[in-house]
Chains A and B, each alone.
Chain A
Amino acid sequence: DSGVTQTPKHLITATGQRVTLRCSPRSGDLSVYWYQQSLDQGLQFLIQYYNGEERAKGNILERFSAQQFPDLHSELNLSSLELGDSALYFCASSVETSGRWDTQYFGPGTRLTVL
Chain B
Amino acid sequence: DQQVKQNSPSLSVQEGRISILNCDYTNSMFDYFLWYKKYPAEGPTFLISISSIKDKNEDGRFTVFLNKSAKHLSLHIVPSQPGDSAVYFCAASPRVRYGGSQGNLIFGKGTKLSVKP
Contacts and interface: CB of A to CB of B under 8 A. Distances in A.
A45 B106 contact: yes
A73 to B, nearest CB: 16
Interface stretch (B11-19, B42-50, B61-69): B42-50
A106 B4 CA distance: 19
A4 B32 CA distance: 22
Interface string A96-111: 1011111111111100
Interface residues of A, number: 33
B26 interface: no
Nearest to B9: A40
Interface string A21-60: 0000000000101010000111111001010000110100
Chain B: interface size category: 20 to 34
Contact of A45 (B41, B97, B103): B103
A35 B46 CA distance: 15
A58 B91 CA distance: 15
Interface in B93-117: 93, 96-99, 101-110
A58 B104 CA distance: 7
B45 A48 contact: no
Interface of B: 4, 31-32, 34, 36, 41-46, 49, 51, 89, 91, 93, 96-99, 101-110
Given A101-B93, A101-B102, A106-B43, 10 more contacts: A4-B43, A42-B89, A42-B108, A44-B107, A50-B101, A99-B99, A100-B96, A101-B32, A104-B46, A108-B43
10 contacts: A6-B43, A43-B91, A48-B103, A55-B101, A55-B103, A101-B31, A101-B102, A103-B34, A106-B43, A107-B43
